Structure 1
Amino acid sequence: MHDLQANTRNLDRHDQAARRLDFSEIPQVDIAGLRGGDPAAAAAVGAALAEAMETVGFVYVTGHGMPGSQLDATFEAMARYFERPEAEKAGLDIHKLARHRGYVPFEGLHADPHEGGADLQEAFELGLELPADDPDYLAGNMMYGPNVWPERPAEFRPVLSSYLDGVHAIGRLLFHGIALGLGLPKDWFDDKIGKPMIQLRAIHYPQQPPREVDGRHIGIGAHSDYECFTILAASQPGLQVRNRRGEWIDAPPLPGAFIINIGDCMERWTNGRLVSTVHRVINRSGAERYSLAFFFGADYEATIECLPTCQGPDNPPKYPPVKAGDWTTSNIKAAYTYRASEDARR
């Protein structure tokens, strides 16, 4: 059973040599069949997604419907934001806001809590856009409520908001595909993601020359994601995936594709059938690296317990039920310094 307070797996971050493999080592699936009205086409996509997620845990997806121009515009808006003065960005520092929104400065995240070094990145956190009178927000729920937005650059809010809406819609399609691949009705997850804990993390990784790479201080340390799944886009290579032999495999961006990976919550939900795979980022690209990590979690009050098609007499549930909100917030507390500093003040 995973420890809710320390979910990240303890791996050796000091072994930085990645073996470069063909892209086919990470499967590629065209999900256009989920966007039409053909049940057979949708079922075929579901089966392909399930196979990739059972064997690798990572998959490139095409046919998602988002134009490349939208992604380019989003990276451009991010670059202009992260170029702003530090004092300006600090106005929306997540440590001041004390909820999961806003600017995360360098040293603000330790994705691998088993190592002493902070991750070499800065980021901006967005979530499901809700009104200021949302009852969960008013009750102090850190995962819900309105987003905060920088005033400059002016295009940051409309561009990032549009991207957030687009990738959210793609994520709902993927939930349909996953359900079909698991032998469930297409809409099985729909009532568990009515008010989901979605998080869009817009990330800037500075250049890190090889001679300066320290295994305790890389772009993001070895970890597995803790939500249901992640939809990732990146401007430069740097992502590495740990295979079952313990080797680090490069997973560079593929034009026109998102990288999808299963998170720990979905691994629990499927009784280990879908695999949450450990990964990390080292930016040796020679350029500034920007990435958009969209984490799709279930509703805060949703119960994560073994799916009916993922258990049987010879395959009993491996994990006890857990409330999705407890799972997510406990993992955030273990990784983000703003949560640790808040707890210390109490």
Structure 2
Amino acid sequence: MADSYIPIIDFETCGLEEESCLHKNLHAVGDLLVQAFSDVGFVYLKNTGIKGTFLEKLNDITAEFFARQIEEKERYCKKPGQVFGYVGIDKERFNPDLPCDYKEAFDVDGTSFDRSEDVWPDDIAPGFSKGMLEFMELSKKLALRILLALGIGLELEDEEFFNKCHSNMHSKETFVTGRTLYYPPVTKELKPGQQRLLEHSDFTSITLVYQDLIGGLQVQHVDGHYVDATPVADTVMVNIGNTMQHWTKGKLKSTKHRVVVGKNEHLLKTARRSLAYFVHPNNDIYINKPLVYKEKSSTDDDCIPQKDLITSKEFLLGRSRALWENKDSMQK
């Protein structure tokens, strides 16, 4: 695409409308994914089988929640130690030395499928729970198709390896999270350095992002400066996270990104919406254990002592702690 730094890949032959995918189609798409994730770290997928009308309806439902008074929304705030729940403005940031992000969100994790109705904001946003859980299920199916294509494209000895490592996606055994995001219109002067979403890289194996057409998302170019991630209608943006970068020894790149306000009057006065699905391996998967490829099996030189193996959960929690202990840790 001429106006975008991020490649666009047609996923139709592997999309959710296909009950099963031919190996040759997964291989063809997998090769393209590996190339894009090696060069840029981001890709747009079109024809995934997830309908734009469903996403628009879900954004409309969750918009009813975000439009409520803060006192009503705070009834659904995250509880200590939980992923599930509401996150208000000035509650999250990726740099302790800068102001919090100018955004709101509601997070849904794997345990949400077993949560009672009274913890959901269905009373003020009818259909919220049904819509978010359907979103989680559709995104899970798409993520598994992408991971399968990646395993084939990387020529892993076990092409289904990544799928096996993500077998517990909607359970308490992983940190997989769905998120509905609301970036309010900027009606007051922001604090110095404040953005809608500060520069960061994801902790995930992969992330799926369904953004509207408002704009504001930027990704870091290979030369270091930021470029606009120009929205593309009816696509899903997919990016590599730190876990997958570590797992593939840097072959697939976790690229920094941010959501800026800029000086554009339209962006300033318009709410921005997106839905995200953060994919993590099962908590007990070792993500520094060398991958085994078809043309080269692990050797003794590749072996890592048991005491030095790092699980997906340990890696995620370690990176999360480092974020607050050392703001530069996420830039390595």
Normalised-by-shorter TM-score class: 0.7 to 0.9
Structure 1 stretch displaced more, 186-195 or 263-272: 186-195
1:231 Cα deviation (Å)? Answer: 0.4
Question: CA separation in 1, counterparts of 2:153 and 2:104?
Answer: 36
2:176 equivalent to 1:176: no
**Is the CA contact (8 Å cut-off) linking 2:43 and 2:238 kept in structure 1?**
yes
Q: Which residue of 2 aligns with 1:329?
A: 317
Structure 1 stretch displaced more, 237-246 or 183-192: 183-192
Question: CA separation in 2, counterparts of 1:231 and 1:261?
Answer: 7
2:248 equivalent to 1:273: no
Instruction: Give matches, 1:147-186, under 5 Å.
Output: 148-150=119-121, 151-184=123-156, 185-186=158-159
Question: CA separation in 1, counterparts of 2:225 and 2:183?
Answer: 23
1:266 Cα deviation (Å)? Answer: 0.1
1:331 Cα deviation (Å)? Answer: 3.7
2:101 equivalent to 1:128: no
The one-letter code matched in structure 2 to 1:272 is G
2:71 equivalent to 1:87: yes
- Indicate the structure whose relative CO is greater, using CA pairs within 8 Å and at least 6 residues apart: 1
Structure 1 stretch displaced more, 246-255 or 281-290: 281-290
Q: Which residue of 1 aligns with 2:27?
A: 43
Question: CA separation in 1, counterparts of 2:238 and 2:316?
Answer: 19
Q: 1:202 aligns with which of 176, 180, 184?
A: 180
Cα distance change on mapping 1:280 and 1:190 into 2, 3 Å: same
Question: CA separation in 1, counterparts of 2:261 and 2:303?
Answer: 39
Instruction: Give matches, 1:50-89, under 5 Å.
Output: 50-89=34-73
Tell me the secondary structure at the aligned position of residue 308 of structure 1: coil
Tell me the secondary structure at the aligned position of residue 218 of structure 1: coil
TM-score normalised per structure 2: 0.82
1:308 Cα deviation (Å)? Answer: 2.1
Q: 2:197 aligns with which of 220, 237, 240?
A: 220
Q: Which residue of 1 aligns with 2:233?
A: 255
Tell me the secondary structure at the aligned position of residue 59 of structure 1: strand
Cα distance change on mapping 1:165 and 1:252 into 2, 3 Å: same
Question: CA separation in 2, counterparts of 1:101 and 1:130?
Answer: 7
Question: CA separation in 1, counterparts of 2:112 and 2:67?
Answer: 28
Cα distance change on mapping 1:267 and 1:59 into 2, 3 Å: same
Q: Which residue of 2 aligns with 1:3?
A: none
> How many correspondences in the alignment?
299
2:1 equivalent to 1:30: no
Q: Which residue of 2 aligns with 1:231?
A: 208
TM-score normalised per structure 1: 0.79
Question: CA separation in 1, counterparts of 2:137 and 2:155?
Answer: 28
Question: CA separation in 2, counterparts of 1:311 and 1:28?
Answer: 32
Question: CA separation in 2, counterparts of 1:279 and 1:316?
Answer: 32
Question: CA separation in 2, counterparts of 1:330 and 1:107?
Answer: 23
**Is the CA contact (8 Å cut-off) linking 2:205 and 2:241 kept in structure 1?**
yes
Q: 1:307 aligns with which of 288, 291, 296?
A: 291
For residues 300-333 of structure 1, give each alpha carbon's deviation from its aligned partner in whole angstroms, at most 9, with x where no partner exists. Answer: 11111231239989x9699x64211122234445
Question: CA separation in 2, counterparts of 1:146 and 1:269?
Answer: 36
1:31 Cα deviation (Å)? Answer: 1.7
Question: CA separation in 1, counterparts of 2:186 and 2:277?
Answer: 24
1:109 Cα deviation (Å)? Answer: 0.7
Structure 1 stretch displaced more, 277-286 or 147-156: 147-156
The one-letter code matched in structure 2 to 1:124 is F
Question: CA separation in 2, counterparts of 1:194 and 1:335?
Answer: 28
**Is the CA contact (8 Å cut-off) linking 2:84 and 2:112 kept in structure 1?**
no
1:214 Cα deviation (Å)? Answer: 5.2
Q: 1:102 aligns with which of 60, 64, 85?
A: 85
For residues 39-81 of structure 1, give each alpha carbon's deviation from its aligned partner in whole angstroms, at most 9, with x where no partner exists. Answer: 1111000000000000000000012101110011111112111
Question: CA separation in 1, counterparts of 2:73 and 2:249?
Answer: 42
Question: CA separation in 1, counterparts of 2:54 and 2:323?
Answer: 30
Question: CA separation in 1, counterparts of 2:3 and 2:144?
Answer: 26
1:110 Cα deviation (Å)? Answer: 1.0
CA RMSD for the aligned pairs? 2.7
Question: CA separation in 2, counterparts of 1:201 and 1:231?
Answer: 10
Question: CA separation in 1, counterparts of 2:275 and 2:82?
Answer: 20
1:32 Cα deviation (Å)? Answer: 2.3
**Is the CA contact (8 Å cut-off) linking 1:129 and 1:146 kept in structure 2?**
no
Tell me the secondary structure at the aligned position of residue 281 of structure 2: strand
Point out where structure 1 has 5 or more consecutive residues left out of the alignment: 1-20, 133-144, 337-346
